Structure 1
Amino acid sequence: MSAILTVVGLGSGNPDRLTLGIIKKLKAASAVYVRTAEHPVMAALAELEISSESFDGLYESLSSFPEVYEAITATLIEKAAAAPQGTEIVYAVPGHPMVAESAVSLLRQRCPEAGIELNILGGESFLDEAFVRLGFDPIEGFQLLDASGIRSSQLHPELHTLIGQVYDSFTASETKLCLMELYPPEYEVIVGHALGVEGEEQILRVPLYELDRLDGYGNLSLVYVPINRAEDALKRTFARLHEIVDILRSPEGCPWDREQTHESLRKNLIEETYEVLETIDEDDPDHMKEELGDLLLQIMLHAQMEEELGTFNVYDVIEGLNEKLIFRHPHVFGDRVAGNAEEALQNWDGMKAEEKRRKGVKPEAQSALSGVPRDLPALMKAYKLQKKASKVGFDWDNTGDVLAKIREEVDELQEAIEMGLSAEEQMLELGDLLFAATNVARFINADPEEALTRTNRKFVSRFQYIEQRLLDRGTSVKDSSLEEMENLWQEAKAEERSK
């Protein structure tokens, strides 16, 4: 058998707020353990002749908070198990036992397994003091975050936000960096030290960028980020984007947006995709940011149309993507290993095949060419078809054979032209030539779409050079001979080489 283990809260720091019941428990306990002796109430306990043992030494000897909480939990369970039946051991924590006390959560999990009776008595939480001293009503919308594990995805400007466990300047700095992903550097936040403790309380209002420049951080410190439902505060949130698209498609929204369908927006999706690709080629981050936004809008509109029909919404899209990414990366989220990019790709392909099997599709029964989108640009589609065929051994042996095939296709195209075959037959021969050229791209590890894009860009640059030089001479391409333009073309090539 074992002793009873009781967890009590010492309140936010003001000794006058200790309840009579908790004082009685502390006095009657066979042993009292406190998480930390660095708490204003400890002086009052000494006056009441309540002796205790703190776990402060664990914070110094162990390297992380989780290790400290594990050690506290193990020690308390061990002490309770060894104590005589009917006695009571008390573990006292700052504030309320159920607010930001990881060891208490662990005790609630493990005491039943160890056959130890666990009781929890509340105390005044630092939240009680925060609501009063900082002057806000949590019913308006409120969240409590832990500075030691804060993430930008947790932040919601439309909620009052309290951030606890701001122990020192380092956690204050981490908190600042996280908040600045959503809030402007000048946004006013409030730092509270020892709220409600007479003679120790400090409430400081500072711009966000100064958060880690303050002194006085410790066990009783927190950061309050006031609620802000202004448009500027919400414009960096995904929820606001979803709301805006919903409004645009509503009866009170934009007539043009309301009229759109999947079919009418099809070309827009394609155009926006190519505009993003153009910014990548231009290496223009500012333009890329804008064009990625335009592409995201297309995705949001298509998802919104389905939300209106009740089939799915954009959050279902995100859920499906998250599940897919985790499932197809077992070398990251599972127990497989990938030492290089090729092994990672093999894992990806293997998990894709497993997904199909789970959906009742047998990959082995499908064509080796399946999975290539029907509407890909022809050059890109040819490249993907050839890659899939090569995986099952349908391929040339070497680059020389492919180049020979290109020469063969050139001869067949020339023959079709000289024989005056129909336009359709000549076009098919041209297609064969382009298909063969795409094979060379694969053998030299070059993306044919990218290769042709670069050539297009080079052509535009050289032709514009010709236009500008002719303009400098007071003439134009329309008034110049082919020989003149060819000379300038060679000049443009020479200038490129010299750069």
Structure 2
Amino acid sequence: MITVVGANILHEFDVSGPIVARTGHVVTSPELRERDISFDHSYDAIFDGPLERALDTVVDDLVERSTQGGLLYLLPGDGVPGDLTVEALSARADITLIPGTLHPGMSGLGRADVVDALEIALAENQGAFGRGLCPIDSTVPRIVTNWYGESVVSLATRRLMLVYNANEAEVRSWESDGRLFIPPVDPLEGPGSVAALEHIVARLRRPDGCPWDREQTRESLLPQFIEELGELGDAIKASDVPNQREELGDVLFHVVVQCQLAAEANDFTFEDVLREITAKLVRRHPHVFGDVQVDTYDDVLATWNRVKAEEKATLGQPENS
């Protein structure tokens, strides 16, 4: 059994058995100093170095140590939600999580608004392939926990600089006691997220918004939508990268405004569209997200068509619809 607890709340129960700390920075806890409590091991060296297998290495080590008896896994601060190592550990071992008192600045925040710096760093470490693994909405207040480790901080800083259009000094200035406290960005001052675009489109459609936008319908915007798709196609064919970026933005605007108009008619929302396409992609790629084995390009197409046919049959639709 592994007991997970924050360093600041150790006073709530007796400490016995080996203690493993996520980071040596927990020694700054007044509780540890007052009770002269030390730990047997920490993972600072892992978070200072290459991160490719950092999470697996930490979890593997904790599981192995727990086979020798009870183990206390010590987190910095209060053991706040969103700790990535704990989430991974819970899938591999029996754990007892001792909840702490949230920092006042975290009052009202949900799980999605509290993110482990390691999660950001691991996603950033994969470059273009990892950006979608840890999406960050800059329009909501956010707390980044476990701001420790040279590699973690470096990679997470790089990602946050991009999301918040900030320089390194600004990102570092948000840090306090091993956490970043990031205020929300006004969508009009720092647009750069889908949420910001949704906000702007909805604002344009409000009664006190833009007269032209308020008068549009899904049908009236269709010619422009088709035109933008054509311009995007031209930019791609011409390998015109700056224009591709601009035209993709125009196309995305039309997707969002079509969803806004549909939501106003109580037909569907942008979130409904996202749910449907993500579910479809997962269903039609069982060789990636499931246990289906494929070896060739033709195998992939056959799997896609088989799943598609099953979907259409379930819905009572013809296969070519």
In structure 2, the CA distance between the partners of 1:352 and 1:193, relative to structure 1 (3 Å rule), is closer
Are 2:65 and 1:65 aligned? no
Q: TM-score, normalised by structure 2?
A: 0.74
Are 2:170 and 1:170 aligned? no
Q: Residue 126 of structure 2 corresponds to which residue in structure 1? A: none
Q: What root-mean-square deviation, in Å, do the aligned CA atoms of Structure 1 and Structure 2 show? A: 3.9
Q: Which stretch shows the higher mean deviation, 278-287 or 317-326?
A: 278-287
**Contact preservation (8 Å) 1:327, 1:351:** yes
**Contact preservation (8 Å) 1:306, 1:312:** yes
Are 2:276 and 1:320 aligned? yes
In structure 2, the CA distance between the partners of 1:327 and 1:296, relative to structure 1 (3 Å rule), is same
Within 1, Cα distance between the matches of 2:278 and 2:287? 15
Instruction: Report the alpha carbon displacement of residue 271 of structure 1 after superposing the two structures with TM.
Output: 1.9
The correspondence for 2:78, drawn from 82, 96, 99, is 96
Are 2:11 and 1:55 aligned? no
Instruction: Report the alpha carbon displacement of residue 321 of structure 1 after superposing the two structures with TM.
Output: 0.9
Within 2, Cα distance between the matches of 1:302 and 1:79? 58
Q: Residue 115 of structure 2 corresponds to which residue in structure 1? A: 145
**Contact preservation (8 Å) 1:7, 1:92:** yes
Within 2, Cα distance between the matches of 1:259 and 1:72? 60
In the TM superposition, what are the counterparts of 1:72-87 in structure 2 within 5 Å?
A: 72-73=62-63, 75-76=65-66, 78-80=68-70
Amino acid in structure 2 at the alignment position of 1:295: V
Within 2, Cα distance between the matches of 1:189 and 1:337? 44
In structure 2, the CA distance between the partners of 1:159 and 1:239, relative to structure 1 (3 Å rule), is closer
In structure 2, the CA distance between the partners of 1:225 and 1:358, relative to structure 1 (3 Å rule), is same
The correspondence for 2:238, drawn from 282, 285, 298, is 282
Describe the SS at the equivalent of 2:164. Answer: coil
Task: Give 1 or 2 for the bigger CA radius of gyration.
Answer: 1
**Contact preservation (8 Å) 1:10, 1:95:** yes
Q: Residue 171 of structure 2 corresponds to which residue in structure 1? A: 189
Instruction: Report the alpha carbon displacement of residue 184 of structure 1 after superposing the two structures with TM.
Output: 2.1
Are 2:293 and 1:303 aligned? no
**Contact preservation (8 Å) 1:328, 1:347:** yes
**Contact preservation (8 Å) 2:23, 2:75:** no
Instruction: Report the alpha carbon displacement of residue 166 of structure 1 after superposing the two structures with TM.
Output: 3.2
Q: Residue 344 of structure 1 corresponds to which residue in structure 2? A: 300
Percentage of matched positions with identical amino acids: 28
Within 2, Cα distance between the matches of 1:57 and 1:280? 46
In structure 2, the CA distance between the partners of 1:224 and 1:340, relative to structure 1 (3 Å rule), is same
**Contact preservation (8 Å) 1:73, 1:107:** no
Within 2, Cα distance between the matches of 1:42 and 1:242? 42
Describe the SS at the equivalent of 1:162. Answer: strand
Q: Which runs of 5+ in 1 are unaligned?
A: 12-16, 81-88, 113-117, 132-136, 196-220, 364-369, 372-499
Q: Residue 188 of structure 2 corresponds to which residue in structure 1? A: 231
Instruction: Report the alpha carbon displacement of residue 73 of structure 1 after superposing the two structures with TM.
Output: 4.5
Amino acid in structure 1 at the alignment position of 2:7: L
Q: Which structure ranks higher in relative contact order (CA pairs < 8 Å, sequence separation ≥ 6)?
A: 2
| Aligned length in residues | 300
Within 1, Cα distance between the matches of 2:58 and 2:269? 43
**Contact preservation (8 Å) 1:248, 1:258:** yes
**Contact preservation (8 Å) 2:19, 2:72:** yes
Within 2, Cα distance between the matches of 1:279 and 1:37? 49
Amino acid in structure 2 at the alignment position of 1:184: N
